Amino acid sequence: MNILKPTISKAVAIAAGILLLVACDDFGSLNVDPNNPSQVRTELLLTNVQRDLSSVSGAVIGNLWVQYMAETQYDDDSRYSTTTSNFNGWYTGPLMDLQTIIDLNTNEETRDDALSGGSNNNQLAVARILKAYYYHMMTDRWGMLPYSDALQGSENFSPSYDSQEAIYLDIINELNEAVDQMDGGAGVNGDIIFNGDMDAWAIFANSIRARVALRMADTNQSGLAATEFADAINSGVITEDVMYPHLAEAANQNPWFARFITRTDYALSDVLADYMIDLDDHRVLRYGDPAPDFYTEGEEITFDNIRGMPYSVENPGDITNASISFPGMAIRAQDAPLPIITVSELHFAMAEAAERGWISGDAETYYLDAIEASWNQWDVYDEGDFQNYVTNPEVAYDSGSWMEKIGTQKWVALYPNGYEAWAEWRRLGYPELEPHDFPLNQSGEIPRRQAYPTSESQINEENYDEAVSAQGPDTPDTRLWWDVN
């Protein structure tokens, strides 16, 4: 694991003269002068950490691999040519900032000075929740990861890898303990997601715990998954979508907006667009903009105006921009929010849990509530249109094929949260997507994981080799622990 060249976050630039990745247990004694009030402010660290949530919600690769979007010029990622991905930035960025928050709130020499960021316990709880969130995203991309040995800086430049099962179990534990750790003290400062509302943080933690538990449904930990899912739901989950709040300014703008400032590399995929248009799904009118060749400015936008970019095409550059639909402004406006976790996702999860016997309630009702929540999320709900949609035989619920029904409709609803959609597609196996037919895709399959950064096999060779031996070849075709369908 290459942590010798860390990227120093903006919030801790004042500490640039000191190696960022110091030993966690020694952070207080090495980096904090108790006689100097200008120590790192935890509220600034928290804001910085949360800004990286946008990089998850607005990531490209997942959107391409689940065929939400297609590339219009250079289709290397759609053809699965980019197999390795560097996780070092997650460790040296948000994870290290979170560890710093934890250290400053636990070290006896610094915990009082850290109170500007909220009560010690509440800061610790939020940091643990966000660490769990980031590690969950990461293990679902790479599988085994440096986890229990990570973030130790100069004490350990070659951390071992933990199994995905071990990481999942600890994530569940961290989320539970974080909620229990919250106290009646001051809420966290620097919080751009919930504005220091600790009740909202507890509900968010429960919602992420339900997501994590569901991912374990078909593993050897299915019993624990059922228990934790039911407990998370009973403890209270979100009733409003959790969105990342971008601003109409360069410092905190929507990443899709940034990608379209000078380029037009990504368009709505014909796979998603055609599926939705065939079912008169009005969300597609928000998912994509009208194609200029098929639309007259000022007219009402209809299904005929939406044209998906062919996902698997030999020369994508031959297709003109005017003939295809780019992602809608609801997704790529400079201040357009992006989903972190939605009510729709939780209702789909409850529908599946009801089918598995984990919770009480009617699976079909949860399923319909999930679709309705998604239509409301995209502000297209109309009772007549909605009823026409959910009674279409392609959409209408069937308990005998619940995995296909839930998997397909969840795929539609998770747009544009590509990484989460990719994880659920791998877990459920629906919809049945056709891989890109690029001749050099030797396996002929859509990737099941991302390969480790090449630096790991060079700098952390022994632990890398042990991880590959335990998990399987370091290729996109190796399935993760929970990926069994």
Position 126 scores a pLDDT of: 99
Phi, psi of 154 (to 5 degrees): -65, -15
Q: How confident is the model at residue 440 (pLDDT cuts 50, 70, 90)?
A: low
Position 103 scores a pLDDT of: 96
Least confident of 344-353, 435-444, 447-456: 435-444
Reading the block at residue 137, the tokens are: 């995203």
Spatial contact of 309 and 220, defined as CB atoms under 8 Å apart = no
Structural domains in the chain plus CATH codes: 65-85+246-252+263-336+342-439 (1.25.40.390), 86-238+457-485 (1.25.40.390)
Has residue 140 got a pLDDT over 90? yes
Position 443 scores a pLDDT of: 79
Asked, as a colleague might, if the bond just before 431 is cis with ω within 30 of 0, I would say yes
- Give the tens place of pLDDT for each residue, 184-241: 999 999 999 999 999 999 999 999 999 999 999 999 999 999 999 999 999 999 999 9
Higher pLDDT, 36 or 160: 160
Cα 339-94-163 angle, rounded to 5 deg: 90
Amino acid residing at 437: D
- Give the tens place of pLDDT for each residue, 362-372: 999 999 999 99
Check: pTM over 0.75? Answer yes or no.
yes
Least confident of 50-59, 71-80, 231-240, 381-390: 71-80
Position 437 scores a pLDDT of: 77
Among residues 49, 50, 59, which one has the least CA distance to residue 422?
Answer: 59
Provide mean pLDDT across the span 155-170. 95
Any idea how long the chain is?
485
Phi, psi of 432 (to 5 degrees): -80, 95
Please state, in angstroms and rounded to a whole number, the distance separating the CA atoms of residues 323 and 316.
12
The per-residue pLDDT of the chain, averaged, comes to: 91
Position 13 scores a pLDDT of: 37
Reading the block at residue 298, the tokens are: 């000022």
Least confident of 26-40, 241-255, 367-381, 430-444: 26-40
Higher pLDDT, 80 or 214: 214
- Give the tens place of pLDDT for each residue, 9-48: 334 333 333 323 333 333 233 344 444 445 789 999 999 9
Position 76 scores a pLDDT of: 83
Beta bridge partners of 70: 267
Beta bridge partners of 288: 327
- Give the tens place of pLDDT for each residue, 90-117: 999 999 999 999 999 999 999 999 999 9
- Give the tens place of pLDDT for each residue, 315-350: 888 999 999 999 999 999 999 999 999 999 999 999
Spatial contact of 450 and 471, defined as CB atoms under 8 Å apart = no
Q: How confident is the model at residue 285 (pLDDT cuts 50, 70, 90)?
A: very high
Helices (H), 312-453: 329-332, 343-356, 363-377, 383-390, 402-414, 418-428
Reading the block at residue 19, the tokens are: 């190696």
Q: 397's torsion region: left (phi>0), alpha (psi -120 to 50) or beta?
A: beta
Position 155 scores a pLDDT of: 78
Amino acid residing at 215: R
Higher pLDDT, 7 or 195: 195
Position 373 scores a pLDDT of: 99
Q: How confident is the model at residue 57 (pLDDT cuts 50, 70, 90)?
A: very high
Half-sphere exposure of 279 (CA within 13 A, CB side): 22
- Give the tens place of pLDDT for each residue, 308-317: 999 988 788 8
Beta bridge partners of 162: 145
Position 23 scores a pLDDT of: 33
Please state, in angstroms and rounded to a whole number, the distance separating the CA atoms of residues 109 and 289.
55
Reading the block at residue 167, the tokens are: 């990481």
Spatial contact of 222 and 174, defined as CB atoms under 8 Å apart = no
212 contact partners, CB below 8 Å, separation of at least 6 = 132, 136, 168, 171, 172, 175, 228
First to last CA, the chain: 31
Give me the sign of the Cα torsion angle 174, 51, 90, 40.
negative
Please state, in angstroms and rounded to a whole number, the distance separating the CA atoms of residues 358 and 231.
10
Position 98 scores a pLDDT of: 98
Q: Which residue has the tokens 């040995």?
A: 149
Has residue 168 got a pLDDT over 50? yes
Strand, helix or coil for residue 341: strand
Phi, psi of 436 (to 5 degrees): -55, 135
Amino acid residing at 317: G
Spatial contact of 292 and 326, defined as CB atoms under 8 Å apart = no
